Structure 1
């Protein structure tokens, strides 16, 4: 795959990551510069989820190797995730772990699966909530792939978008709750993925995992309509991929966007500013336009800084919020300070965030990704004689084989939450 082909995806990640950092810096560091005509944080997560929806099914379809896919996902996501958890817990004597995190085994179970938000458990680091929806998407896509239902991307996008509208009208919050959800989902997750990876009742296990993921999404998410809308956006990304390949039209994407645009009915009544009609629709439109613009430039060279930010975007996503908390703990409340001082502290904070994110990518992400590729190659050799789904799109390297999965942070008004 040529560098220009990869660059547009990395540029999108870099843009999304910066948008999320902006959303978290402005309220506490530069409140006088904050704007409300669109939400940078929501914009960032929509861009990231479109990227994941575009690339994840393509990666799985190319090789037809479910085991290699999950090995790759584990080494891509978990090492840095566990490292950040360790650091946050180690510094809890200074900046305490969030109140939203249960002080019992359910927190361990929820963190083990990454299904935090869909079992209504807060993450040790605030930024971990969107990983829940990435994991739900992986589970659903795996089930669809093994049951040969993965090519109906446009239909799935519309179904989830319509479901988001319905859920938004009927369920303002989680229907199911309690620590048992974290324990039960962890047990099913571990047993199910073991079966999937080691090819023991693989299709049945993947189907159970996919059904469990969607059930949790609808019945026990912190904000059910948002979770279902996220799945719609991700499948819209897949539908765009199919359109690019000439396999389908773009009309399902347009329908999905329209339905997602009218989804947050209950949220509007609850007074959340970022889902007011003007803000919500503008944010969606900007995210879509950004994705379309980057896609249009996919054959051209893009600014190196944008590509570099994309490479470190997963580290930036997990690292920046804890670092901002630590800076606020050192400097104190900046909101009443003079603007020059706020700007100076903001500059220092940004340098610290970028430097630590780059180090995390260099010494945690990159070597673990390399190890994952080696393990994945060995897995392919070992499973060469096993029955597996035939690969699709052989020889098409336009978007395949790239490391994806970065997602941005939850939209919050306070760094100190």
Structure 2
């Protein structure tokens, strides 16, 4: 037999494994785990392992087809890939097209640009490689990537391209399929173990650290086909035990693995081995027959692929349009809509095309996927097609709305901070050192804290023209017991030129960093005492409000698809402020040289807090001031505290 890519074997019909409803039941468990995790991540913290269940199932079914047909001299590359195209492309094309059309009317230019990039990656089945270069699967930005979930499809398709060729080569060279499968499995698994701690993102997305999961299925396929007596002759109790252990492992994986776990790593053995044990148990096992083969799970399993494709774009677009996590009710509606769309896609898109024997269908589907990919790529190259109406909707003066613009202004208008020892320890932003001062020479006024101190600097530096203002920041609570701030407080205390210290921090979030054997009040007072010994004038900012939505919601409106808001109920920030403001008040009462700089009233009245004032946007994200915002706050601080400028 000569297996090739030409028409020689195009007419051969590949034999397929006998249908097993329990495997559809497994698919149902996999997809439901993922869907629930994405909608309600606190319910099933390890629900993302559903993808690993899919990997084992795919490896088992695909390898069964490949091994069986190679052994029967009936394998055709054309037929194999044609079936893959007709199985995967129809619904995927619909989902990609709908996402693009919805994005056209709903997304801002930067959002649409990213969608175009991911559209092209999804059409080319390289989403995992593109996402690998961007960020992690569990970071905050992931929620605003409607095609994030296609990373797993990329891994599978890359396996489908490489594995049939390797299997064919092994068959030609008369290598044992099991030996080849297990050898590559072992290498892939070891790479996963070695790299998961040093490069977690790469290990999560990389095909070479994921293929072992599919190869577990491949190894099982070999045993099922060529060593079936090993499994068939097992007593019923052993098969029942295998399926029970398998289901237990999956259950433990879903409930105990979290996004903080070093995953995949060793943790991925739980869902993958669990899946393999269930498949190996066979249809006769009680769990397979009574639990996994019930009609409801089988139905969900049948629509699992379109359900997987639809659910995440719906949840992600909700998040983008609201600029915050949607309410549980809205998320439930999205999931119900995903089920409806999945069933419609299965009935009217997947089924009619999947089993069509016309070769033209394969060619048309392949051509359409190329076209969709090109559309996405052009959208990316054209920066999100800014000529679209929604890309230019503005309701307030935008000022700067991004972190890059904010820090570029610092670089252009201020000097790098002194002394050099402090600058060397400064936090970075890309290639920028986040430590500046308003003029050359010794500073006399210093702002200490985290990024909430940094965003205050710009306005104060411009308002206090007769002062040399600088800022020293770390990502932590600015107290002397925090080792991160040791060098900073030592420099400030011993530098007689520094007469004024302004402390500012994201207090509500930093309270958790207080030592367990102390209190926020005690730690802050110790810090004040140290500064008092060196005759510093001390000011503490009460912190500007943080909001539940993105500035984009405030900046853009006018489209019925953008759910516009520019205000929050005052209780949103008020509840957080109540956790620390009484401590700041008490510190002010007992320390004559401590003054609280109160800024909340600049943004909030009794009922609402406002992100924009006088038609001007004041924030660049939900809790950081923009250039406009920094100037607005600083101007009002100086008006209320004239001694700061003296």
Structure 1 length normalisation: TM-score? Answer: 0.60
The match for 2:348 is 363
Alignment size in residue pairs: 296
State which structure, 1 or 2, has the greater radius of gyration over its C-alpha atoms. 2
Q: Which residue of 1 aligns with 2:556?
A: none
**Residue 84 of structure 2 corresponds to residue 73 of structure 1:** yes
Paired position in structure 2 for 1:352: 337
> 1:162 maps to which residue?
190
Is 1:72–1:369's contact at 8 Å kept on the other side of the alignment?
yes
Question: Does the 8 Å contact 2:127/2:154 carry over to 1?
Answer: yes
Cα distance, 1:137–1:2 mapped onto 2, change above 3 Å? closer
Residue in structure 2 matching 1:34, options 16, 19, 43: 43
Partner of 2:640: none
After TM superposition, the structure 1 = structure 2 runs for residues 254-273 of structure 1, keeping only pairs within 5 Å, are: none
State the distance in 2 between where 1:347 and 1:68 align: 40
Give the match's secondary structure for 1:366: helix
- Aligned position for 2:417: none
Aligned-partner Cα distance in 1 for 2:317–2:205 = 33
Alpha-carbon shift at residue 92 of structure 1 (Å): 0.7
Which protein has the bigger helix share?
A: 1
Is 1:227 matched with 2:207? yes
Q: Which residue of structure 2 lines up, in the alignment, with residue 115 of structure 1?
A: 126
- The answer for unaligned runs of 5 or more in structure 1 is 28-32, 174-221, 251-271, 380-415
CA distance in 2, matches of 1:97, 1:154: 48
**Contact in 2 for aligned 1:85/1:124 (Cα 8 Å):** no
Aligned CA distance change for structure 1 residues 278 and 353 (closer, same or farther; 3 Å): closer
Structure 1 residues 34 and 56 mapped into 2: Cα distance closer, same or farther (>3 Å)? same
Q: Which residue of 2 aligns with 1:285?
A: 270
What's 1:236 paired with?
Answer: 216
Please give the TM-score of this superposition, normalised by the length of structure 2.
Answer: 0.40
Shift of 1:86: 0.7
Tell me: CA distance 1:353–1:286, structure 2 relative to 1, closer, same or farther (3 Å): same
Residue 103 of structure 2 aligns to a residue in which SS? coil
2:23 corresponds to:
9
Q: C-alpha distance in 1, partners of 2:125/2:226?
A: 35
Question: What is the rounded CA distance, in whole Å, between the counterparts of 1:334 and 1:108 in structure 2?
Answer: 23
Q: CA deviation at 1:359?
A: 0.5
Matched, 1:138 2:160: yes
Counterparts in 2 of 1:291 and 1:304: CA distance versus 1, 3 Å: farther
CA distance in 2 between counterparts of 1:154 and 1:309 reads 32
Tell me the SS of whatever aligns to 2:40.
helix
Q: Which residue of 2 aligns with 1:317?
A: 308
Which residue of the partner structure matches residue 44 of structure 1? Answer: 50
How do 1:167-186 residues align onto structure 2 when only pairs under 5 Å count?
A: 167-168=195-196
Given candidates 296, 314, 323, the residue that maps to 1:305 is 296
CA distance in 2, matches of 1:115, 1:358: 27
Give 3-state SS (helix, strand or coil) of 1:92's partner.
helix
Partners of 2:348 and 2:63 lie apart in 1 by 28
Q: Offset of 1:77 from its aligned partner? A: 1.0
Question: Residue 128 of structure 1 is aligned with which of 150, 167, 172?
Answer: 150
Query: Cα offset for 1:128?
Result: 1.0
Give runs of aligned pairs for residues 318-333 of structure 1, distance below 5 A.
318-327=309-318, 333=324
Aligned partners of 2:312 and 2:225: how far apart in 1? 38
- 1:68 Cα deviation (Å)? 0.1
Counterparts in 2 of 1:324 and 1:375: CA distance versus 1, 3 Å: same
CA RMSD across the alignment: 4.0
Residues 292 and 96 of structure 1, relative CA distance in 2, 3 Å threshold:
farther
SS at match of 2:84: helix
1:91 matched residue in structure 2: 102
User: How far is the alpha carbon of 1:168 from its aligned partner?
Assistant: 4.2
Q: 1:96 to 1:138 in 2, by over 3 A?
A: same
Q: C-alpha separation between the residues in 2 aligned to 1:150 and 1:135?
A: 24
The separation in 1 between residues aligned to 2:86 and 2:169, in whole angstroms, is: 25
Q: Relative to structure 1, is the Cα distance of residues 5 and 102 closer, same or farther in structure 2, using a 3 angstrom cutoff?
A: same
Deviation digits for residues 59-106 of structure 1, max 9, x if unmatched? Answer: 123241111001111111112112111100101145438968866997
1:296 aligns with 2:281: yes
CA distance in 1, matches of 2:57, 2:343: 21
- Residue matched to 1:198: none
